[in-house]
C-alpha cells in the first residue's frame, strides 16, 4: 500500500462530540482531507507548537517528551497513521537513535503534537484516505498550503469553551499589551494570552 503525505489543514471545535476538537489533515499534492477528533489538551498542545508568539515558560507534556528524546539523541523521523478501526485512528512514531530505527505505538493526537515539534512528516495509507477522507471544496491552486492552520482560532475556541466574556483591551497601549501578554504566558494563562495577542494583531 502506498503512503500519502499529510499536512495540518486546521483545527476547529467538533460539531459531533462535546468538548472535543477536529484536527483536519490535508493530503499533500491531493484534494482529500482527513478529519480526526482529538481532545482539548492535545488541540491546545498542537496549536501552541504552531503559534510562534506563545512560548510556555515551562514545558508542556509533549515539549517534555521532545526534550527527553533529544537529551538521549532520539529523533522522531516520521509519523504514520496506519490503521482505522471503528472510527479510531492508530498511529506509529518512527524514531531513530544511533542509526537504529524503532517503531513506537502512539495515539494519533499525541503523534501529531510530536510531529509538529520534531518537524517530522506525517503519512497515512491510501486505503485510509479512501475510507475516511473527504474531498475539499476548493481547487489545489487556492488551498492554504502556505499557511495551513490558523492556530489563533484554536486558542480562541479553547478560550471560549471556558470563559463567556472577553475583556476590552482597546484602551491599552501596545507597550502595556505586550507586558500583559508576557505576564499571561508566564502564568500559563493561554486563554488570556490569546485574547491579548489578538488585540495586538489588530493593531
Q: What is the pLDDT of residues 72-83, one digit of tens each?
A: 999 999 999 999
Q: Does domain 3-161 have CATH number 3.10.690.10?
A: yes
Cell readout for 72 is: 538521549
Domain range list for the chain = 3-161, 165-202
Average pLDDT over residues 173-194: 79
Backbone phi, psi, residue 43, to 5° = -60, -45
pTM value surpassing 0.85 = no
pLDDT of 48 strictly over 70: yes
The arithmetic mean of pLDDT across residues 79-104, rounded, is 95
- Comparing 144 with 185, which gets the higher pLDDT? 185
Q: Which of 26-35, 89-98, 167-176 has the lowest mean pLDDT?
A: 167-176
Q: What is the pLDDT of residues 104-130, one digit of tens each?
A: 999 999 999 999 999 999 999 999 999
Helical spans, DSSP H, in the chain: 40-50, 61-71, 108-118, 126-132, 151-160, 174-186, 190-202
- Compare 146 and 38 and report the one with higher pLDDT: 38
Can you tell me the distance from the alpha carbon of 20 to that of 8, in angstroms, rounded to the nearest whole number? 17
Q: Residue 162: its pLDDT value, please?
A: 40
With b for 16 or more beta-carbon neighbours within 10 A and e for fewer, the 112-139 pattern comes to bbbbbbbebbbbbbeebbeebbeebeee
Amino acid at each position: 500500500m502506498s503512503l500519502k503525505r499529510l499536512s495540518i489543514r486546521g483545527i476547529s471545535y467538533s460539531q459531533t462530540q462535546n468538548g472535543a476538537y477536529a484536527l483536519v489533515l490535508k493530503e499533500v499534492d491531493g484534494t482529500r482531507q482527513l478529519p480526526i477528533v482529538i481532545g482539548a489538551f492535545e488541540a491546545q498542545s498542537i496549536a501552541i507548537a504552531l503559534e510562534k508568539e506563545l512560548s510556555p515558560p515551562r514545558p508542556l507534556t509533549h515539549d517534555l517528551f521532545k526534550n527527553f528524546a533529544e537529551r538521549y539523541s532520539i529523533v522522531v523521523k516520521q509519523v504514520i497513521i496506519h490503521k482505522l478501526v471503528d472510527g479510531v485512528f492508530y498511529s506509529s512514531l518512527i524514531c531513530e537513535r544511533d542509526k537504529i530505527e524503532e517503531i513506537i505505538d502512539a495515539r494519533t493526537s499525541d503523534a501529531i503534537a510530536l510531529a509538529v515539534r520534531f518537524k517530522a512528516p506525517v503519512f497515512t495509507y491510501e486505503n485510509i484516505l479512501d475510507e475516511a477522507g473527504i474531498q475539499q471544496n476548493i481547487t489545489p491552486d487556492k488551498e492554504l498550503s502556505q499557511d495551513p492552520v490558523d492556530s489563533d482560532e484554536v486558542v480562541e475556541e479553547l478560550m471560549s469553551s471556558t470563559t463567556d466574556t472577553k475583556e476590552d483591551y482597546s484602551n491599552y497601549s501596545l507597550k502595556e499589551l505586550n507586558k500583559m501578554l508576557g505576564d499571561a504566558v508566564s502564568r500559563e494563562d493561554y486563554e488570556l494570552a490569546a485574547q491579548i495577542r489578538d488585540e495586538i494583531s489588530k493593531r
